Structure 1
Amino acid sequence: MSVNIRSAVISDSKAISELILPLAKKYICPTCDASAHYILLNSMSEENVGKYLSTNYNYVIAVTANDEVVGVAGVRDNSHLYHLFVDDNFQGNGLSRQLWEAVKEESIKNGNSGIFTVNSAVNAESVYSRFGFKRTEGIRNRQGMIDIPMLLDLEY
């Protein structure tokens, strides 16, 4: 199935939220303390995604021919990979890399010098490693949110 990658606009916030919430419940929540689930999932609400899209975040989305959003990547401040999600039915075909490359290119155009960070879910570390990210410290627990801070420096 072919998809088109384009910049997201505020009117995409509902579709983005509807894509990432079930994926976060399935893949991220099981790796975090139950106490952090509400905070995590609330950060992905349609309202909050709309706020991100109207402030210092850049998002790209992958849409099918019938305009279904099947992937998303979002970067905060042109330097921190904040969201990267791909619908289960579209995983394994390089779509996450295409989304990452698109949002990385946009961030560099907007002034990023080639340094990116991500707080990887424990079970997503291998994806970010394939993109060139390296751990900056081990697995951490911040108020129940379990993640791995990682850095990509394109200078090296």
Structure 2
Amino acid sequence: MTVAAELTPPIFDFRSAASSDAAAISGLIQQFLHEFAIHPESTGTEKFIESISPEAETRYIADPRYQYIAAFEDKQLAGFIALRDGSHVFHLFVSPAFQRRGLATRLWQMAKAAALSVSKPECFTVNSSPFAMPVYTRFGFKEIGPKTEAHGIHFIPMRLQCMECTCDDGTP
């Protein structure tokens, strides 16, 4: 890759995820398993690993409780966000090749705006991996409980009160 290519910001195509994206979505999540699994190869993580399989992701994508927004560059999945019930960040992952380019922020802004246009949730919640906490903190989320372990993974529950939410135009 040339220096010019590295400096050129990627152009992303954003769209709702389709069932045909489930394998790529599952693969992207699994790249990060080492960051939130307590012991990725040990017992206890099976239920979680099953919950991020291509089959499970296909079910989530088809379920109206979940809204997925995916970002692609040249037909390659660069990242995605999934909200459950319009208020819980179920997934937010960006491929390592596309990190630190504002993609997570763009995905969050799009998902938040879509959720706020449909309903008025009191808050948004997320069970953040320790690794992702700085990202959610930048989005305005605050820690609401201690580090928790369940199904072989650890996470920190976080919340963003919607009175702290603003859309891109500055309105709540």
TM-score of the two chains, using structure 1 as the length reference: 0.89
Please state whether the residue corresponding to 1:152 is helix, strand or coil: strand
Maintained 8 Å contact 1:14/1:46? yes
**Partner residue in 2 for 1:125:** 133
CA distance in 1, matches of 2:87, 2:42: 29
Q: Which of 1, 10, 21 does residue 12 from structure 1 map onto? A: 21
* Alignment-mate amino acid for residue 22 of structure 2: S
Count of aligned positions = 154
Q: Could you tell me the percent identity over the aligned residues?
A: 33
Unaligned ranges ≥5, structure 2: 1-9, 165-172
Please state whether the residue corresponding to 2:75 is helix, strand or coil: coil
**Partner residue in 1 for 2:49:** 41
Please state whether the residue corresponding to 1:70 is helix, strand or coil: strand
**Does the alignment pair 1:22 with 2:38?**
no
CA distance in 2, matches of 1:101, 1:33: 34
Q: Which of 2, 22, 46 does residue 11 from structure 2 map onto? A: 2
Maintained 8 Å contact 1:75/1:81? yes
Q: Name whichever of 139-148 and 117-126 sits farther off.
A: 139-148
Please state whether the residue corresponding to 2:100 is helix, strand or coil: coil
TM superposition shift of 1:32: 7.2
Two-structure CA RMSD over aligned residues (Å): 1.9
CA distance in 1, matches of 2:19, 2:81: 14
CA distance in 2, matches of 1:42, 1:130: 30
Residues 1-156 of structure 1 mapped to structure 2, 5 A cutoff: 1-23=10-32, 25-30=33-38, 34-55=42-63, 56-64=65-73, 66-156=74-164
* Alignment-mate amino acid for residue 10 of structure 1: S
Maintained 8 Å contact 1:31/1:122? no
* Alignment-mate amino acid for residue 88 of structure 2: H
Unaligned ranges ≥5, structure 1: none
TM-score of the two chains, using structure 2 as the length reference: 0.82
Q: Name whichever of 102-111 and 87-96 sits farther off.
A: 102-111
Cα distance per residue 1:90-128 (max 9 Å; x no partner): 001111111111111111122143510000011111110
Maintained 8 Å contact 2:90/2:126? yes
Q: Which has the larger radius of gyration?
A: 2
Distance 1:79 1:33, change over 3 A: farther
Cα distance per residue 1:3-39 (max 9 Å; x no partner): 122211222212211222222x232225779333222
Cα distance per residue 1:40-61 (max 9 Å; x no partner): 2211111111111111100001
